[in-house]
A and B are shown apart, each in its own frame.
Chain A
Amino acid sequence: NAGVTQTPKFRVLKTGQSMTLLCAQDMNHEYMYWYRQDPGMGLRLIHYSVGEGTTAKGEVPDGYNVSRLKKQNFLLGLESAAPSQTSVYFCASSYNGEPLHFGNGTRLTVT
């Protein structure tokens, strides 16, 4: 049972480049979330999804897009990376209000 898997684990981008972060869960969870974690800021919600084919904006959605084409996958895209998007990104999933299960994070550096 893998739980929540994030790929890649690390990435370095140049300003203006694009990339997609992949999150996969094998627990048949309806809800999936993308957070970013910055020093002293805690976790901030970027986007979330309440089911296949649906997405919604969180607290800090600007500069990011998401897609949930399959229930088990939630993709986070950066179309034109900026240094302010240097962060650690966490994906999580949950079943109808139960506690969240987190992946191990993707550390992204934008130079």
Chain B
Amino acid sequence: GEDVEQSLFLSVREGDSSVINCTYTDSSSTYLYWYKQEPGAGLQLLTYIFSNMDMKQDQRLTVLLNKKDKHLSLRIADTQTGDSAIYFCAETLGGSYIPTFGRGTSLIVHP
């Protein structure tokens, strides 16, 4: 099976909160990342969290890490149409510089 799993689609109404979920399987992960890909562009780093942290907040973004369940989530408050994109979860194992990416979640924001 995949090392990093995400649901493929999420649809939300403008102004609502979005929660994108990710599960990973390797307990030795050291870094966990969220990247955003807009149409026709490359991936841009949104935020990342060290595996010894539970939460990280950055303006409208909140990352939660549940190490026991190997679950990572990205919450976007007050979702806007400009947030429509594909969001990738990724992990890097200790001692490795090769991240493993999930398949990406397409976030669709409608009025």
Interface 1/0s, chain A 20-48, versus B by CB < 8 A?
00000000000101000000111101001
Bound-state CA distance A6–B76 (Å) is 30
Of all chain A residues, the one with the shortest Cβ separation from B100 is A45
Q: Is the CB of B97 within 8 A of A94?
A: yes
Whole-angstrom distance between the Cβ of B100 and the nearest chain A Cβ: 9
Interface 1/0s, chain B 18-50, versus A by CB < 8 A?
000000000000110101000011111100100
Q: Is the CB of B41 within 8 A of A96?
A: no
Q: Is the CB of B42 within 8 A of A90?
A: yes
Q: Is the CB of B103 within 8 A of A103?
A: no
Bound-state CA distance A42–B92 (Å) is 16
Q: Is the CB of A41 within 8 A of B103?
A: yes
Residues in A with CB closer than 8 Å to B88 are: 42-43
Of all chain B residues, the one with the shortest Cβ separation from A9 is B40
B8: Cβ under 8 A from any A Cβ: yes
Q: Is the CB of A100 within 8 A of B99?
A: yes
Number of B residues near A (Cβ < 8 Å) is 21
Given contacts A42-B88, A42-B103, A99-B33, contact A50 B97 (CB under 8 A): yes
Bound-state CA distance A17–B88 (Å) is 33
Number of A residues near B (Cβ < 8 Å) is 23
A102: Cβ under 8 A from any B Cβ: yes
Query: Looking at B8, B35, B42, which has the most chain A CB atoms within 10 Å of its CB?
Result: B42
Whole-angstrom distance between the Cβ of A90 and the nearest chain B Cβ: 6
Q: Is the CB of A97 within 8 A of B92?
A: yes
Q: Is the CB of B98 within 8 A of A102?
A: no
Whole-angstrom distance between the Cβ of A100 and the nearest chain B Cβ: 7
Within 8 A of B (CB), among A62-111: 90, 92, 94, 96-97, 99-105
Spell out B's residues near A (CB within 8 Å): 8, 30-31, 33, 35, 40-45, 48, 88, 92, 97-99, 101-104
The 9 A-B residue pairs with the shortest CB-CB distance, nearest first, are A102-B42, A42-B103, A43-B101, A102-B43, A99-B45, A104-B42, A97-B97, A31-B97, A103-B42
Spell out A's residues near B (CB within 8 Å): 4, 31, 33, 40-43, 45, 48, 50, 58, 90, 92, 94, 96-97, 99-105
